Amino acid sequence: MPRSRNHPPFSPGPGRPEGRLIGLVALLLVLPLVQGCILPGGTGLLSTPAPTPEPQVEIVVATPTPGLLPEYESADAVEARRIALYKRVAPAVVNITTQVLRSDFFWGAVPEEGSGSGFVWDTAGHIVTNYHVIEGANEIAVSFGGDVTSPAQVVGSDPINDLAVLDVDAIPEGVQPLELGASADLQVGQTAIAIGNPFGQFERTMTVGIISALNRTLETENTVLRGVIQTDAAINRGNSGGPLLDLRGRLIGVNTAIFSPTGTSAGVGLAIPVDKVRRVVPVLIEKGHFPHPWLGIEELGYEISPALAQALDLPVDHGLLIARLYRNSPADKAGLRSAQRETIFRNRRYLVGGDILTAVDSKAVASWEDLSAYLDEQSDVGQRITLTLLRDGKELTLTATLQVMPESLQP
């Protein structure tokens, strides 16, 4: 799913050390040629009647421009660091193969194989990967390279965040879990390193690029991933679930998708940020699932725009017009009011008369995405949140305690 950098040619500016050095070297090269010039058709050097005084030779010592040599040394150091990083980290990257039973035209069970990547989370045998890598699998195997392969079981999964944790009997001797970095302070332009198993056969392939964008939102058929890291490090099918690392070898993301018209790397790879992985994975290991906070407002209401506000005679031109609530949900228990009647506008039916939600915990809400993002990224089950509403043209506040999202509503 879902750039090349053009550097201007080096051109020393006036007064720069590089310009002076080039000028001095050119002078030293040109002067001897002038002094040794032979006249066409002549037999000797160019001379004058009067004796020429002995030339004064000034020796100019060309010294390296400050800063150039350290750059070459740092380039060598970066290369050495990458090599050392790969030797240290690559053993913790695994190849995951799955078998899923599909139904054929005659409703028979047909095995279908899949593959992806993952990485060692701890010494207890836990492997982290994407949920979509192991979704629906009845058999899972984890390969540590060579002939070391182990059957694996799913410990926990979170389809909403596209993460899953597997368990193997033992981690091979000498293999160390990945060190966790942080994603909150990442910057565009930082080095990004991906290690995985593209196409399921090129095990432990390392690609290097940069972080090309941050805080992307990735919408799939079943869920929305927020805060996603974008990188131009080559990622292909089979890389899903593998680690995205910084130059120190610390985990900064889990590679999960690419944007590509052809299905192969087009320079836009997407990774789940490590801060979310750090939050979700321990809960999956402990509980087997991740409890997502739920308010209980059906997304059948309307995002208010100035045009809709004018058409429906609403008191504000932003917010969410609530149409329906889930019975016994936090919103229902808090006393929110759903639609009271319906009206027709431009051949469309609108459920109106309900509360208008304008803010959550004093943060403005203008779209369903605003509400979902706040609940998913900044709230927890059991947390009390304050809802700012407009009812019959008057502002009021209500308090709701978030509950666990019912399984029936999860993807």
Catalytic residues: 132, 162, 240
Q: What contacts 80, CB < 8 A, 6 or more positions away?
A: none
Which residue carries 């899923």 as its tokens?
100
Distance from CA of residue 409 to its chain's centroid? 26
Q: State which amino acid sits at residue 10.
A: F
C-beta neighbour count of 62 within 10 angstroms: 11
**Any idea what the Cα angle at residue 116 is, between residues 131 and 168, rounded to 5°?**
75
* CA nearest neighbour of 128 among 84, 169, 99, 158: 158
Cα distance between residue 197 and residue 238, in whole Å: 5
Residue 249 three-state SS? coil
Longest Cα–Cα distance of the chain, Å, equals 116
- Find the radius of gyration of the CA atoms of the chain: 32
**Contacts of residue 361, Cβ cutoff 8 Å, sequence gap at least 6:** 374, 385, 386
Please answer whether residues 312 and 350 qualify as being in contact, where contact means their C-beta atoms are separated by less than 8 angstroms: yes
* Those residues with Cβ within 8 angstroms of residue 369's Cβ, 6 or more apart along the chain or in another chain: 217, 224
> Do the beta carbons of residue 381 and residue 375 sit within 8 Å?
no
Q: Locate 241 and state its tokens.
A: 């679930």
Under 8 Å between Cβ of 399 and 148: no
- For residue 398, give the nearest of 339, 338, 322, 334 by alpha carbon: 334
Residue 72's CB: how many other CB atoms inside 10 A? 9
Phi, psi (degrees; rounded to nearest 5) at 326: -75, 135
Tell me the C-alpha distance between 121 and 132, whole Å.
Answer: 18
Element holding 269 (H helix, E strand): strand 269-273
Tokens of 77: 């150091």
